């Protein structure tokens, strides 16, 4: 499906909103996965990220004065999923908070780049302005994640070692 570029602030912010929704849902799902695998620390971290993205989502709704969620069913990202959405395949059941935060940092950077492209694109001025503002927000998020990340040193080699062989269930 050919991607349709947003021509109005309403359309553009709907994209931004969709991005946050997808990111929040994904972090919540990843929190569940980590919880099922008894990786509590990372589970809580993902749950927190889900709440943060949820706040961003709600902020957009409030800012735009929307009473109902916008219709984003025809949206398509350039990448398979939204710029802020973590790819399922990036997970490991033994992953450390460092890894989760690196993923979050990557997400925020991609989101910032995504908005920066809009800010520089051949679009109406108010759209570009909105995009620039969103890009700045995302840059701030990157800084916040970096601060958060500073608390966790890079894990040593062998963090993914599990002496037990895989178990069978069926």
Partner 1 sequence: MTEALTHTDFKSDIKPVWCPGCGDFGVVNALTKALAKMELRPENVAVVSGIGCSSRIPAYTSCYGFHGVHGRALAAGTGLKIARPDLTVIVTGGDGDGYSIGGNHFLHACRRNVDMTYIVMDNRVYGMTKGQPSPTTEPDWDSKLSPDGTGLREFHPMVIALSSGANFIARAFTGDPNGLADVIVQAVRHPGFSFVEVLSPCVTFRPEQRDWKKIVKPDAIKPTSDIARAARRMLRDTGFDLGVLYAGNRKPYAPRGERANRDASVLEARFTL
CA–centroid distance for 85 within its chain? 4
CB of 87 to partner 1, least distance (A): 6
Q: Toward partner 1, which CB reaches closer, 71 or 147?
A: 71
Q: Does position 169 bind partner 1 by CB under 8 A?
A: yes
Q: Please report, for residues 7, 126, 130, 145, the alpha-carbon distance to residue 122 in angstroms, rounded to integers and kept in the order given.
A: 10, 11, 14, 31
Can you tell me the distance from the alpha carbon of 28 to that of 46, in angstroms, rounded to the nearest whole number?
A: 7
E strand intervals along 26-156:
none
Q: Does position 62 bind partner 1 by CB under 8 A?
A: no
CB of 7 to partner 1, least distance (A): 22
Token pair for residue 28?
């919540």
Interface positions, 147-166, toward partner 1 (CB under 8 A):
165-166
Q: Which of 41, 87, 140, 146 binds partner 1 (CB under 8 A)?
A: 87
User: Can you list the pairs that 1-5 forms with residues at least 24 positions away whose Cβ atoms lie under 8 Å?
Assistant: 1/74, 1/76, 2/76, 3/75, 3/76, 3/77, 3/78, 4/74, 4/75, 5/121, 5/123
CB of 56 to partner 1, least distance (A): 19
Q: Does position 58 bind partner 1 by CB under 8 A?
A: no
Q: Does position 34 bind partner 1 by CB under 8 A?
A: yes
Can you tell me the distance from the alpha carbon of 77 to that of 21, in angstroms, rounded to the nearest whole number?
A: 14
Q: Which of 2, 89, 147, 153 binds partner 1 (CB under 8 A)?
A: 89
Q: How many residues sit in the footprint of partner 1 (CB under 8 A)?
A: 28
Q: Toward partner 1, which CB reaches closer, 88 or 159?
A: 88
CB of 144 to partner 1, least distance (A): 24
Whether 17 contacts 72, CB under 8 Å: yes
Whether 120 contacts 136, CB under 8 Å: no
Residues that bind partner 1 (CB under 8 A): 1, 25, 29-30, 32-37, 73, 76-77, 80-81, 87-93, 95, 165-166, 168-170
């Amino acid at each position: 499906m050919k991607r349709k570029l947003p021509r109005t602030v309403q359309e553009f912010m709907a994209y931004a909103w969709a991005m946050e929704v997808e990111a929040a849902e994904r972090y919540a799902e990843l929190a569940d996965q980590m919880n099922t695998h008894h990786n509590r620390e990372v589970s809580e971290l993902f749950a927190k990220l889900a709440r943060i993205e949820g706040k961003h989502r709600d902020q957009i709704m409030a800012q735009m004065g929307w009473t109902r969620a916008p219709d984003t069913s025809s949206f398509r990202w350039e990448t398979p999923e939204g710029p802020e959405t973590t790819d399922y395949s990036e997970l490991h059941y033994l992953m450390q908070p460092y890894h989760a935060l690196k993923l979050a940092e990557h997400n925020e950077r991609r989101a910032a780049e995504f908005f920066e492209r809009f800010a520089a694109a051949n679009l109406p001025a108010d759209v570009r302005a909105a995009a620039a503002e969103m890009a700045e927000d995302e840059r701030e998020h990157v800084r916040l994640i970096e601060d958060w990340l500073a608390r966790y040193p890079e894990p040593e080699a062998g963090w993914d070692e599990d002496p037990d062989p895989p178990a069978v269930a069926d």
